[in-house]
A = this chain, B = another copy of it.
Amino acid sequence: MKEIEGGVTAAKGFKAAGVHAGIRPGKTKKDLGLIFCDVKCAAAGLFTTNLVKADPVLLDIETLKDPYAQAIIANSGIANACAPNGMKHAREMQKITADAMGIDADLVLTGSTGVIGMELFTECIADHIGELKKELVSDPSGSDACARAIMTTDTVKKEYALEAMIGGKPVRIGGISKGSGMIHPNMGTMLAYITTDCAIAPSLLKKALKEACAQSFNRISVDGDTSTNDSLIILASGLAENPRIEEAGEDYQVFRALLSTLCVNLARKMAKDGEGAKHLITCSISHARSVSEAEQLAKSVIGSSLTKAAIFGCDANWGRVLCALGYAGVEFDPAKTDIRFASSAGRIEVARSGRGLAFDEELAKKILSEDEVVIEIDLHDGESEVTCWGCDLTYDYVKINGDYRT
Contact = CB atoms under 8 A, between A and B. Distances in A.
B355 A319 contact: no
A378 to B, nearest CB: 15
Contact of A118 (B50, B322, B356): B356
A130 interface: no
Interface of A: 49-53, 79, 81-84, 86, 115-119, 181-182, 184, 223-228, 303-306, 309-310, 312-313, 315-320, 322-328, 330-332, 334, 351, 354-356, 393-395, 397-406
B224 A303 contact: yes
A315 B326 CA distance: 34
A80 to B, nearest CB: 11
Given A83-B355, A83-B356, A319-B117, A223 B305 contact: yes
A334 B395 contact: no
Q: Within the oligomer, what is the number of copies of this chain?
A: 2
Given A356-B83, A395-B398, A315 B182 contact: no
B334 A51 contact: yes
Which 9 interchain pairs have the tightest Cβ spacing?
A116-B319, A313-B402, A52-B326, A117-B356, A309-B401, A50-B326, A226-B327, A223-B305, A117-B319
A329 to B, nearest CB: 9
20 contacts: A51-B334, A52-B322, A52-B326, A116-B317, A116-B320, A117-B356, A119-B356, A184-B327, A223-B305, A225-B304, A225-B324, A228-B322, A305-B397, A309-B397, A309-B400, A309-B402, A310-B402, A310-B404, A313-B403, A317-B404
